[in-house]
Amino acid sequence: MARMTMIEAVRSAMDVSMGRDDNVVVFGEDVGYFGGVFRATQGLQAKYGKTRCFDAPINESGILGTAIGMAAYGLKPCVEIQFADYMYPAYDQITQEAARIRYRSNGDFTCPIVVRMPTGGGIFGGQTHSQSPEALFTHVCGLKVIVPSNPYDAKGLLIAAIEDPDPVMFLEPKRLYNGPFDGHHEKPVTPWSKHDLGEVPEGHYTIPIGKAEIRRPGDAVTVVAYGTMVHVALAAAEETGIDAEVIDLRSLLPLDLDTIVQSVKKTGRCVVVHEATLTSGFGGEVVSLVQEHCFYHLEAPMVRVTGWDTPYPHAQEWDYFPGPARVGRALKEVMEG
């Protein structure tokens, strides 16, 4: 089996999908000849031509509006927003048009688009290249929201997203593009070539949207995470020696609530970790659902470990970024509760 970085896995997913279906088109800022700012689309224009992989103007609203029209016409656009921070001009098109087409047309039209966007921090990108806006999408009926944590999942989920008949927001944690970053910025990152989840089939496969994965079984406490924070949570569990069960959500909407509930009913404790700001972050939704479904099984108050309620601070990157030390303190707190 091939070894791939997450960038290569994402590229392979688009390549496989374009090869199987002539209606799949890829476009966005610099994604054509240049191959994208992270090189995720490198080589696709040369292979499939300028009508199927092409550059768009620096106009996120225009990119999404064009994609929606293409989808209504019968194409399957997979578009790139260069950084998740740039999606705000397109938010109206995503939420008011793409998300509602099936509903407003009584099922006569669907909107099979995928919106790829690098998300999160850890690269010293500052306040305009480090945001995690996933909760702004999970609040919108009609969207699906995916945040993979490794190359194997990234490829399988992206192919599934491209084949899905409805709009999918596909957020790629850029700090994971080249290796499974666990929050220890002072240490070299292990490359995906030396990680089991860096093994990626070269052909077509899909992973069901809406199904979480237990990355580490345990009996003492449930840790719910996604994206980069999955690796941070795994490091915290290892370093504290606490028998934590780590759940990788993979899909935020639809959410695999059954896996979370079964785990919390077993452990009686829950910690939720995400990189986005605390207030109105997706962790608040997870905590509310656990409270509703597991109240009589909880043995301690739940704890959220998140980014701070501030703009992403360039100079204090690692104070803002939830690392294994902060997650470890939360694990100890719930165990003592």
Lowest mean pLDDT among 169-173, 200-204, 311-315: 311-315
Amino acid 230: pLDDT: 98
Whether 123 has a pLDDT exceeding 90, the answer reads: no
294-322: pLDDT as tens digits = 999 999 999 999 999 999 999 999 999 99
Is residue 129 annotated as part of the catalytic site, yes or no? yes
Name the band, by pLDDT with cuts 50, 70 and 90, for residue 270.
very high
Per-residue model confidence (pLDDT) at position 251 = 98
Core vs surface per residue 221-234: b (16+ CB within 10 A) or e: bbbbbbbbbbbbbb
Q: List, for residues 228-244, the tens digit of each pLDDT value.
A: 999 999 999 999 999 99
Distance from C-alpha of 260 to C-alpha of 258, rounded to nearest angstrom: 5
Determine the Cα–Cα distance for residues 25 and 61; give it in Å rounded to an integer. Answer: 18
Mean pLDDT across 147-170: 98
Q: What is the pLDDT of residue 89?
A: 97
pLDDT at position 215:
98
* Structural domains of the chain, ranges and CATH numbers in brackets: 2-200 (3.40.50.970), 213-336 (3.40.50.920)
Residue 189 DSSP one-character state: P
- pTM > 0.75: yes
Q: Give pLDDT, residue 189.
A: 85
pLDDT at 337 over 90: no
pLDDT tier at 13 (50, 70, 90 boundaries)? Answer: very high
| Set 129, 195, 204, 314: catalytic member | 129
| Predicted confidence (pLDDT) at residue 1 exceeds the cutoff of 90 | no
CA dist 22 and 269 (Å) reads 48
For residue 124, is pLDDT > 90? no
pLDDT at position 48 is 98
